[in-house]
């Protein structure tokens, strides 16, 4: 007789486009089943090192939850911290719908999943090579003068731009990366394209576009490697920008400030025609203003004797905004602290689901 029973949440994860975080019960009833599940996932519990890694991930997941997510009256059961048990027991607990350990086991497993993905990203193993490949070509063009000014390009270069500040984001803090992964619909480490990046703070909005031009003219960043659907421009609409340039006389020697004033006036009088490019982030306030795009750098590792040379593309974020917008972004609902609060709220929802009160509010 053909078995017609299917685990609907797991089939939805395979075929329905659902996240693995939405699977409520793993359906694992024995250690033998748990062992097979772990092996398919990537861990052999007959291997002592793999067992150590599983306990490490479980400890780190619990530490993250206690530090970043749990309320003061919430506590993870001691059974999930007991090293005398089998590290696979948590898979069985997560399948026992009547057990008080089921909810907590599922919560911890979701964080473990995020941790494993992060800890096995290419950056974990080749961080020096990746950072050198991403930051090196840009830093060659950053100049700090004796008067304290910072320039993209030599000051006397035709395309150089005086900056307010240049910043490198060397690597996203691990807890921040976990939070971001758990708050996203798709929980994938390669979906985190902003684990490292660069940021240019300019004197004004017009200089933002001059920075983009410099990066292209000097072949610092190849537009061929940009990822189009990751671009965000809430700073100044391109249609009004190019319209403004067409009205300026090519015979006049404008200053950057004069052109910036003209751009501001254009936006003020024709804001209804502004065509911004906004990639919606549910945690970013609508008042947040910046330009961001994701590019990729081909990282070439040193060839080891007797082996083929390894190379791979790694994504990084480029942010460009004027200083005034930066200051405004750091206040009120746009501030980083408020952004993080919204993220943690979403993480709790994905880990625990809705509370009875929240479900009642949503149904009203």
Instruction: Read off the pLDDT of residues 112-162 as tens digits, 9 standing for 90 and up.
Output: 999 998 888 888 888 899 999 999 999 999 999 999 999 999 999 999 999
The residue out of 100, 119, 138 marking a domain boundary is 119
Q: Is residue 356 part of a domain?
A: no
Give the DSSP H/E element, type plus range, for residue 323: helix 323-329
Span 330-346, pLDDT tens digits = 886 656 677 788 888 88
Out of 164-173, 235-244, 318-327, which region has the weakest mean confidence (pLDDT)?
164-173
Distance CA(9)–CA(15), nearest Å, equals 10
State how many domains the chain has. Answer: 2
For the whole model, what pTM was predicted? 0.79
Q: How confident is the model at residue 100 (pLDDT cuts 50, 70, 90)?
A: confident
Token pair 């990366």: residue:
177
Contacts of 237 (CB under 8 A, 6+ apart): 267, 273, 274, 275, 276
Q: Which of the pair, 8 or 87, is modelled with greater confidence?
A: 87
Residues of the chain with pLDDT > 70: what percent?
91
Q: How confident is the model at residue 363 (pLDDT cuts 50, 70, 90)?
A: very low
What does the pLDDT look like over 259-291, one tens digit per residue?
999 999 999 999 999 999 887 666 666 778 999
Indicate if 62 and 145 belong to the same structural domain.
no
pLDDT grade, residue 362 (50/70/90)? very low
Q: Do both 201 and 282 map to the same domain?
A: yes
Mean pLDDT of 307-312: 83
Residue 361 lies in a domain: no
Backbone angles phi, psi at 188, to 5 degrees: -140, 135
Cα(60)–Cα(355) distance, integer angstroms: 26
Distance, in Å, from the CA atom of 321 to the CA atom of 83, rounded to the nearest integer, reads 50
Both 83 and 228 in a single domain? no
Q: Which of 119, 141, 171 is the last residue of a domain?
A: 119
Q: Point out the domain boundary residue: 80, 99, 119.
A: 119
Query: In this structure, is residue 315 part of a structural domain?
Result: yes
- Assigned domain for 359 exists: no
Token pair belonging to 40: 């398919």
Residue 247: is it exposed, middle or buried by C-beta count within 10 angstroms (0-12/13-18/19+)? exposed
Give the pLDDT score at 364.
45
Q: Residue 108 and residue 94: Cα distance in Å, rounded?
A: 9
* Same domain as 68, residue 46: yes
Residue 146: CB partners within 8 Å, gap ≥ 6?
none
Q: Coil, strand or helix: which one is 85?
A: coil
Q: Is 210 found in the same domain as 288?
A: yes
Residue pointed to by tokens 């940021």: 199
Nearest to 167 by CA among 198, 136, 202, 128: 198
Question: 218 and 166: one domain?
Answer: yes
On whether both 83 and 157 belong to a single domain, the answer is no
Based on the fold, state whether residues 90 and 225 are members of the same structural domain: no
Cα–chain-centroid distance for residue 27?
32
Q: How confident is the model at residue 350 (pLDDT cuts 50, 70, 90)?
A: confident
In terms of domains, do 299 and 179 share one? yes
> Which helix (H) or strand (E) element contains residue 32?
helix 31-41
Residue 224 DSSP class: G
Tell me the pLDDT of the chain averaged across its residues: 88
Please check whether residue 111 lies inside any domain of the structure: yes
Residues 130 and 218 in one domain: yes
Residue 209 lies in a domain: yes
> CA-CA distance, 315 to 192, in Å (whole number)?
9
Domain identity same for 181 and 291? yes
| CATH code of 133's domain | 3.30.460
Question: What is the model's pLDDT at position 281?
Answer: 67
Residue 154 within any structural domain of the chain? yes
Question: Inter-axis angle of helices 336-352 and 174-183, to 10 degrees?
Answer: 60
Query: Residue 144: which domain range?
Result: 125-237+276-348
- Tell me the pairing of strands 311-322 and 197-202: parallel
Any domain includes 141? yes
Same domain, 132 and 111: no
Cα atoms in the Cβ-side hemisphere of radius 13 Å centred on 136: 9
Give Cβ neighbours of residue 220 (< 8 Å, ≥ 6 apart): 137, 138, 141, 214
Residue 303 is given by DSSP the state P
């Amino acid at each position: 007789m053909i078995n017609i029973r299917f685990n609907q949440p797991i089939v939805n994860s395979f075929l329905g486009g659902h996240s693995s975080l939405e699977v409520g019960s793993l359906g694992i009833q024995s250690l033998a089943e748990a062992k097979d599940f772990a092996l398919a996932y990537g861990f052999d519990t007959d291997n002592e090192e793999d067992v150590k890694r599983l306990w490490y991930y479980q400890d780190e997941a619990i530490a993250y939850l206690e530090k970043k997510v749990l309320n003061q009256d919430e506590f993870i059961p001691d059974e999930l911290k007991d090293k005398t048990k089998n590290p696979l027991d948590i898979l069985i607990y997560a399948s026992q719908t009547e057990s008080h350990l089921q909810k907590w086991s599922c919560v911890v497993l979701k964080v473990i999943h995020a941790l494993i993905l992060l800890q096995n990203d290419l950056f974990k193993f080749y961080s020096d090579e990746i950072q050198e490949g991403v930051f090196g070509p840009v830093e060659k063009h950053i100049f700090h003068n004796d008067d304290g000014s910072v320039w993209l390009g030599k000051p006397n270069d035709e395309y150089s731009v005086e900056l307010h500040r240049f910043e490198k984001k060397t690597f996203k803090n691990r807890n921040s990366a976990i939070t971001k992964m758990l708050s996203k619909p798709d929980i994938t480490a390669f979906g985190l394209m902003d684990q490292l990046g660069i940021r240019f703070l300019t004197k004004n909005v017009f200089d933002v576009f001059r920075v983009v031009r410099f990066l292209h003219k000097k072949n610092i960043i190849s537009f061929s490697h940009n990822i189009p659907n990751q671009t965000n421009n809430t700073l100044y609409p391109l249609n009004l920008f190019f319209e403004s340039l067409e009205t300026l006389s090519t015979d006049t020697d404008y200053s950057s400030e004069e052109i910036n004033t003209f751009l501001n006036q254009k936006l003020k009088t024709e804001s209804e025609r502004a065509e911004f490019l906004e990639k919606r982030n549910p945690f970013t306030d609508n008042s947040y203003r910046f330009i961001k795009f994701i590019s990729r750098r081909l990282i070439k590792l040193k060839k080891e004797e007797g082996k083929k040379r390894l190379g791979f593309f790694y994504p990084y974020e480029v942010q460009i905004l004027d200083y005034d917008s930066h200051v405004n972004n750091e206040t009120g609902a746009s501030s980083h602290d408020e952004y993080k609060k919204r993220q943690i709220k979403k993480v709790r929802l994905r880990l625990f689901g809705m509370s009875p009160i929240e479900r009642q509010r949503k149904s009203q």
